[in-house]
Amino acid sequence: MKLRLTSLLPCLFLVLSISAFAQKTYPVLGKIIINDPKLEKLLPKNAKLEVIATGFVWCEGPVWVKDGGYLLFSDVPKNTVFKWDEKNELSLFLKPSGYTGLGEYSNERGSNGLTIDKKGRLISCEHGDRRISAMPLNGGGKITLSDNFEGKRFNSPNDVVQNLTNGSYYFTDPPYGLAKYEMDSSRETSYFGVYQITPRGETKLIIKDLTRPNGLAFSADGKTLFIAQSDPEKAFLMSYPVQTDGSVGKGKLFYDATPMSKTGLKGLPDGLKLDIEGNIWTSGPGGILILSPEGKLLGKIETDGELASNCAWGDDGSTLYITVDGYLCRIKTSTKGADW
């Protein structure tokens, strides 16, 4: 039977209506603050910070799994890694994620920073077990990449990244996962270090003069290491040249957020990522700060008084996923991640 177009229009309208109705609408958090017109090239005028999942205690360590098209992130106090994707939304991925011992240990005993290495494994900073671990995503148990330096256990590894040029892993080791933080009797080091795990599996201490090293990220060419410090008295980002052996040279102050912190805005430099143009997107006082390659504040994604902890590029590389206290959020940008 031959149907005329006019007879198909009601059906077509119904299909379109159902499709439009099925599109998910998420709550919006905060607002965009522009300090420099250059920010308008990085964020669309209609960009909004969407809240795509809630109900967590303290979210951290988001990482996008390109091969699977999904996001993983930690809820540190819940000792859990969650999975989020557009179709199925939220699901449990791994529990326990950072502490497998007896008792409670601390209020932040789970995994914190996460990354995917060149082998496609999930690399985790484990607070409770005080180690850096690697786990295949397609099944199989964890292995320990490092849990001590010169026989002394780490404090609580916080964030980790792999240098794609030299293959080494780099991680920070502040006291946030210890039951009594810097006063905890189980501490075995007198400093809060930044470490390198070489491709041969050797652990090296590369920085020991930071008071609260936290998030870290590399420039696109792998030649500069950026480290955020979560110290309210010294709330800044540092940059370090990477040497041929994977160690780092003398650090330089890249951006000082201490004056901003002193105004009473909640949050400190924590997790950070770079885009393809070398701009830095970092958590900080008030939300996510966007800094130029020269260290100039271009603007901010404000989070309405909620603490932004970390961020990661996802989807096609242009969506920035952000962990904000008990929320998982995202915002569409006009750029892409440096490692995309």
Record the tokens describing residue 102, joined without a space: 């007896």
Predicted pLDDT at 103: 87
Q: Is the per-residue pLDDT at 312 higher than 80?
A: yes
**Residue in 46, 139, 84 with CA at minimum distance from that of residue 323:** 84
Residue 262: its H or E element: helix 258-262
Q: Is residue 153 marked as binding?
A: yes
Q: Is residue 279 marked as binding?
A: no
Residues 6 or more apart from 94 whose CB is under 8 A from it? 80, 81, 111, 135
For the segment 231-275, what is each residue's pLDDT rounded down to a tens digit?
999 999 999 999 999 999 999 999 999 999 999 999 999 999 999
Q: What is the mean pLDDT of residues 85-111?
A: 95
Predicted pLDDT at 94: 97
∠ Cα 266 271 277 (to 5°): 115
Q: Is residue 60 marked as binding?
A: yes
Q: Is residue 214 marked as binding?
A: yes
Q: Is the per-residue pLDDT at 201 higher than 50?
A: yes
Q: What is the mean pLDDT of residues 108-113?
A: 98
Distance CA 13, CA 325 (A): 42
Q: Is the per-residue pLDDT at 185 higher than 50?
A: yes
Burial class (CB in 10 A: 0-12, 13-18, 19+), 137: middle
Cα 208 from chain centroid (whole Å): 22
The CB density around residue 103, as the number of other CB atoms within 10 Å, is 9
Percentage with pLDDT > 90 across the chain: 91
Could you give all domains of the chain from N- to C-terminal order, each with its CATH number?
A: 26-332 (2.120.10.30)
Record the tokens describing residue 170, joined without a space: 């780099």
Type of residue numbered 134 = A
Predicted pLDDT at 17: 35
Q: Is the per-residue pLDDT at 295 higher than 50?
A: yes
Q: Are 338 and 321 in contact (CB under 8 A)?
A: no
Q: Is residue 88 marked as binding?
A: no
Please state whether the predicted TM-score (pTM) of the whole model is above 0.85.
yes
The CB density around residue 316, as the number of other CB atoms within 10 Å, is 10
Q: What is the mean pLDDT of the chain?
A: 93
Q: Is the per-residue pLDDT at 156 higher than 60?
A: yes
Cα 323 from chain centroid (whole Å): 8
Predicted pLDDT at 23: 61
Predicted pLDDT at 128: 97
Q: Is residue 330 marked as binding?
A: no
**Residue in 70, 55, 32, 27 with CA at minimum distance from that of residue 290:** 32
For the segment 157-176, what is each residue's pLDDT rounded down to a tens digit?
999 999 999 999 999 999 99
Q: Is the per-residue pLDDT at 12 higher than 60?
A: no
Positions annotated as catalytic residues are: 270
How many residues appear in the chain? 340
Residues 6 or more apart from 306 whose CB is under 8 A from it? 29, 30, 266, 324, 325, 326, 327
